């Protein structure tokens, strides 16, 4: 099952969502006045993860989420091969892979 549109973070009951947006609440519906740093951080993490996975695979973002650890592992392995090749092209690609891996750390 998937939802259409990007997700957004809602920090209070009054947040107005654009049509099609899904919401990750940063508060407990029973106690809406209690937005904590942790609940807001969790909501932002959920929104970032869902939107990134939907960008990778709009038809099946869950598949993208489940594949991410393998993508990371493949990047680490590929980087080793690219460094050994040591050509101009492999150095350029290795830089891109390093940047991507660094964002995941």
pLDDT in tens, 35-86: 777 777 777 788 888 889 999 999 999 999 999 999 999 999 999 999 999 9
Q: Mean pLDDT score of the chain, rounded to an integer?
A: 81
Beta bridge partners of 10: 25
Please give the structure tokens belonging to residue 90: 């492999």
User: Measuring CA to CA, which residue among 104, 101, 105, 93 is closest to residue 76?
Assistant: 101
Tell me the C-alpha distance between 67 and 70, whole Å.
5
Angle at 42 between CA 59 and CA 31, to 5 degrees: 115
Alpha-carbon torsion, ordered 86, 92, 94, 96, to 10 deg: 180
What is the pLDDT confidence band of residue 1, given thresholds at 50, 70 and 90?
very low
Alpha-carbon torsion, ordered 36, 37, 42, 47, to 10 deg: 100
Residue 46: what pLDDT? 82
The mean pLDDT of 17-21, rounded to a whole number, is 50
Residue 2: what pLDDT? 52
Show me where the domains of the chain are located.
1-56, 66-105
């Amino acid at each position: 099952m998937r939802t259409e549109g990007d997700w957004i973070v809602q920090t209070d009951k009054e947040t107005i969502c654009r049509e099609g947006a899904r919401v990750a609440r940063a508060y407990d519906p029973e106690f809406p006045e209690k937005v904590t740093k942790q609940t807001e951080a969790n909501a932002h993490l959920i929104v970032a993860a869902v939107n990134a996975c939907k960008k990778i695979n709009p038809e099946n973002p869950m598949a993208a989420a489940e594949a991410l650890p393998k993508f990371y592992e493949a990047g680490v392995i590929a980087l080793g091969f690219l460094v050994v090749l040591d050509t101009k092209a492999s150095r350029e690609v290795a830089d891109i892979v390093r940047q991507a891996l660094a964002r995941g750390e």
